[in-house]
Chains A and B, each alone.
Chain A
Amino acid sequence: MGFLDVIILLVKCLVLALATTTMFAYFTLFERVLLARFQHRVGPNRAGYIPLPGGRKLLGGFLQPAADAVKLFFKEDITPALADKWVYLISPAFAVIPALIIWATIPLACWPSGGDGVVPLGGCAPAGGSNFLQLAEFNVGILYLLAVTSIGVYGIAIAGWASNNKYSMLGGVRATAQVISYELALGLSVLGVVMQASSFSTADIVAAQWGWWFIVPQFLGFVIFLLASTAEVVRAPFDLVEAEQELVGGYNTEYGSMKFALFFMSEYIKLVAMNAIAVTLFLGGWHLPGLYTLAQAVTDNFGQFAGAAVLGLTSLGAFLLKVTLLSFVSVWIRATIPRVRYDQLMHLGWKVLLPMALFNIALTAVLNVLFTDRYISGAIAFVIGLVVVLVVVFFEGPRKPASEVKLVNEAASRAGAQG
Chain B
Amino acid sequence: MLGEIIKGLGTTLKYLFKKPVTVQYPEVKRPVRERFRGRHELKRFENGLERCIGCSLCAAACPADAILVVPGENDKDHPNSPGERFAATYEINMLRCIFCGYCEDACPTNAIVLEHQYELSFYDRKTSIYTKDMLLVPADQGHGEIPPILEQLQRRPSPPAQIDL
Task: List chain A positions with a Cβ less than 8 A from chain B.
Answer: 34, 36-42, 332-333, 335-337, 390, 393-394, 396-397, 399
Contacts and interface: CB of A to CB of B under 8 A. Distances in A.
Nearest to A38: B12
Contact of B24 (A42, A335, A336, A396): A42
B11 interface: yes
Contacts of A41: 20-22
Contacts of A393: 1-2
Interface size class of B (residues with CB under 8 A): 10 to 19
B15 A38 contact: yes
Contact of B8 (A34, A336, A399): A336
A40 B18 CA distance: 7
A40 B24 contact: no
A40 B21 contact: yes
B2 A335 contact: no
B165 interface: no
Contacts of B22: 41-42
B20 A38 contact: no
Contact of B9 (A336, A390, A396, A399): A336
B13 interface: yes
B20 A36 contact: yes
Interface of B: 1-2, 5, 8-9, 11-13, 15-16, 18, 20-22, 24
A40 B13 CA distance: 11
B30 to A, nearest CB: 15
Contacts, number: 40
Nearest to B5: A337
A224 B13 CA distance: 23
B20 to A, nearest CB: 5
A390 B2 contact: yes
B13 A332 contact: yes
B93 to A, nearest CB: 32
Given A34-B16, A36-B20, 18 more contacts: A37-B15, A37-B16, A38-B15, A38-B16, A39-B15, A40-B15, A41-B20, A41-B22, A332-B9, A332-B13, A333-B9, A335-B12, A336-B9, A337-B5, A390-B2, A394-B2, A396-B1, A399-B1
A337 B6 CA distance: 10
A39 B5 CA distance: 17
A96 B22 CA distance: 36
Contacts of A40: 15, 18, 20-21
B55 to A, nearest CB: 48
Given A393-B2, A397-B1, A42 B20 contact: yes
A393 B6 CA distance: 12
A396 B1 CA distance: 9
